[in-house]
Amino acid sequence: MKPTALIAVSDKTDLGYLAEELVRLGWQILATGGTASFIRDLNLPVIPVSEYTKSPEMLGGRVKTLHPLIHGGILYRRGNMEDESEMKAQGMRSIDLVVCNLYPFQETIARDGYTEAEAIEQIDIGGPTMIRAAAKNHEAVGVIVDPTDYKKVIDLLDEGNDMEAFDLSVRRQLAAKAFMHVSTYDAAIFNFMTDKNTVFPDELIITAQLKSKLRYGENPHQKGALYEIRDNHGSVEGAGGYTQHPGLEMSYVNVLDASAAFDCVADLEGPAVVIVKHTNPCVAGMVDSTKDQDQSLSKLYERALINGDYVSAYGGIIAVNRPVDFALAEAIRDVRHPELGSRMLYDIVIAPAYDSDALQHLKKKSKNLRILEAPLGSPQQDFRQVEVRGIKGGLLLQTPDRTPEIEFESVSNKPLTSDMEADLGVAWTLCKHVSSNAVVLVKDRVLVGMGAGQPNRVGSAKIAVDQAKHRTDGAVCATDAFLPFPDTLVVVADAGCVALAHTGGSIRDEDSIVAANERDIVLVTTGYRHFRH
């Protein structure tokens, strides 16, 4: 008897190729309504499932394949005498290959304007049942859920045109893929049915799709990969948010740093440049519309580089929140290290877009420069988005650190000027992206000093002041939490800072206010904390 394939697909990509090849190889094809019509229109022989089962499709197509003749043909155990006897008694034919993909539920809920009724109607019932049956019985039955696997299976069948040629190890791989296909589908439905206002449901299903295998992990002897997580709407959250122009492949650390750099620059409202090293901004600046005669990104880049930590910036990641024009590309490529005199070297440039001449110019900079594009906005505005971090035996989840715009108000005697307030806005935003305990110094909207990751905040303050050198005179400071003691304020005030923003709320807040008044510095409390571990 000829081997039989059961085909029921929503996605008909390359279905013509598959059907033609199966017929050429002498297979019989069973197919459901729309799939059978598609194959028949190709003038290929096909047996409709309803004709085989003698049971019409019912309830508007909701019931098609839920029939013993279908599932018996898939599930019976080849070589089992009792099963073989039942198959013969019931007049069932053997189904040797199941080709099925599911109703487009994820695509439906990812579409604007869909209705609840439309989404529910796209919940497939018969498809998952057939797929699971074939995958369970993969020792005898092949299952395909992905059109990209058609050719692999046809090539195997071409070698022997029977299931013996269809290697068991391949059938097992396809079965695993089939179970993943169904579980991902069910996860999308679960997330859809979960209360949309619940950020942390009692049970959590996270599904992810491999985006790329990375050049290496955190170190060259480690392997790494990047996965995209599907959100509650079934659509893919672009991992890292970027697409890459052709070039050297990304490593684990590259992805971390690029994400950190773009998250930081996207938080700054005006045209801005950020350079990140090991996820911390070491050079950063925003165009000062009140002072900068030339408000181009290229001039901002040069000013931020000269006034920032250009030593750390070497080999870092540049992010901008505006399209890269030729002038900026030229500056990135040609501006030299302020001390070494050599051209600055960067691993990555990431921006919302590139002018064509800018893109070509950057490609000439280095064959190792990775050029990334990332959209501003949208997914970052979704309150349901969560950050996921793995720990031993579990996952930690939190909502992103999105604080409202702060209206700075001095709690010390010295009044806050508009210029100080503008600089504090930049400093407060930047310190959110610096590892705790963060101390950030900003002058004329440009980062001039930064201390990060120290066990105590005063240690970070000393590093920031030492890094800034003479540029602390007239600068402002922001730190990521409250000041338990005045020591951090004393360090930055004695170095020349004119204002400091902290969370406030310490039982010793008054001590810091007294210290601020003694040193004639503005002290601001924000009411928000910005720890980043």
Q: Does 327 score more than 50 pLDDT?
A: yes
- Please tell me whether residue 181 adopts helix, strand or coil conformation: helix
Assigned domain for 223 exists: no
- The answer to whether residues 58 and 179 belong to one domain is yes
Q: How many CA atoms lie within 13 A of 398 on its CB side?
A: 9
| Spatial distance between the Cα atoms of 31 and 511, rounded to a whole number of angstroms | 79
Q: Does 17 score more than 80 pLDDT?
A: yes
Angle at 501 between CA 498 and CA 507, to 5 degrees: 120
Q: Does 146 score more than 70 pLDDT?
A: yes
Q: Which residue has the higher pLDDT, 185 or 307?
A: 307
Give yes or no for a contact between 44 and 61, defined as CB atoms under 8 angstroms apart.
no
Q: Give mean pLDDT, residues 262-276.
A: 94
- The answer to whether residues 495 and 445 belong to one domain is yes
What range defines the domain where residue 495 resides? Answer: 418-525
pLDDT digits (tens, 9 = 90+) for 497-517: 999 999 999 999 999 999 999
Q: Is 278 a catalytic residue?
A: yes
Domain CATH number, residue 169: 3.40.50.1380
Domain boundary among 316, 349, 378: 378
Q: What is the pLDDT of residue 240?
A: 59
Q: Does 382 score more than 80 pLDDT?
A: no
The contacts of residue 204 (CB under 8 Å, 6+ apart) are 395, 397
pTM over 0.85: no
Q: What is the pLDDT of residue 380?
A: 41
What is the rounded radius of gyration, in angstroms, for the C-alpha atoms of the chain? 31
Torsion of Cα atoms, 479 then 485 then 486 then 491, to 10°:
-60
Assigned domain for 235 exists: no
Assigned domain for 274 exists: yes
Q: What is the pLDDT of residue 272?
A: 96
| Spatial distance between the Cα atoms of 293 and 288, rounded to a whole number of angstroms | 9
Q: Does 291 score more than 80 pLDDT?
A: no
- Please tell me whether residue 499 adopts helix, strand or coil conformation: strand
Tokens found for residue 125? 């019932």
- The answer to whether residues 127 and 272 belong to one domain is no
The number of residues making up the chain comes to: 533
Assigned domain for 290 exists: yes
- The answer to whether residues 250 and 331 belong to one domain is yes
- The answer to whether residues 38 and 177 belong to one domain is yes
- Please tell me whether residue 4 adopts helix, strand or coil conformation: strand
- The answer to whether residues 165 and 82 belong to one domain is yes
Assigned domain for 238 exists: no
Q: Does 384 score more than 70 pLDDT?
A: no
Omega cis (within 30) before 413? no
Query: Which residue in the list 12, 177, 245, 278 is annotated as catalytic?
Result: 278
Q: Which residue has the higher pLDDT, 219 or 489?
A: 489
Q: Does 381 score more than 60 pLDDT?
A: no
Q: Does 161 score more than 80 pLDDT?
A: no
Domain CATH number, residue 516: 3.40.140.20
Q: How many CA atoms lie within 13 A of 384 on its CB side?
A: 15
Assigned domain for 20 exists: yes
Assigned domain for 331 exists: yes
Domain count, the chain: 3
Q: Does 530 score more than 80 pLDDT?
A: yes
- The answer to whether residues 188 and 81 belong to one domain is yes
Look-up of token digits 């990509």: 13
| Spatial distance between the Cα atoms of 132 and 143, rounded to a whole number of angstroms | 9
Domain boundary among 132, 161, 193: 193
Among the ranges given (98-112, 280-294, 335-349, 382-396), the one the predictor scored with the smallest mean pLDDT? 382-396
- The answer to whether residues 49 and 165 belong to one domain is yes
pLDDT digits (tens, 9 = 90+) for 225-260: 888 876 554 444 455 568 888 888 899 999 999 999
Q: Give mean pLDDT, residues 310-335.
A: 92
Query: Percent of the chain scored above 70 by pLDDT?
Result: 94
Query: Which residue in the list 12, 67, 136, 152 is annotated as catalytic?
Result: 136
Q: Give mean pLDDT, residues 254-274.
A: 93
The contacts of residue 210 (CB under 8 Å, 6+ apart) are 225, 226, 227, 228
- The answer to whether residues 470 and 359 belong to one domain is no
Domain boundary among 327, 352, 378: 378
| Top-confidence range, 136-145, 380-389, 516-525 | 516-525
pLDDT digits (tens, 9 = 90+) for 104-129: 888 888 888 888 888 888 888 888 99
Q: Is 221 a catalytic residue?
A: no
- When the pLDDT of each residue in the chain is averaged and rounded to a whole number, the result is 87
- The answer to whether residues 32 and 163 belong to one domain is yes
- The answer to whether residues 22 and 111 belong to one domain is yes
Assigned domain for 200 exists: no
Query: Percent of the chain scored above 90 by pLDDT?
Result: 52
Q: Does 379 score more than 60 pLDDT?
A: no
Amino acid letter for position 372: L
- The answer to whether residues 35 and 86 belong to one domain is yes
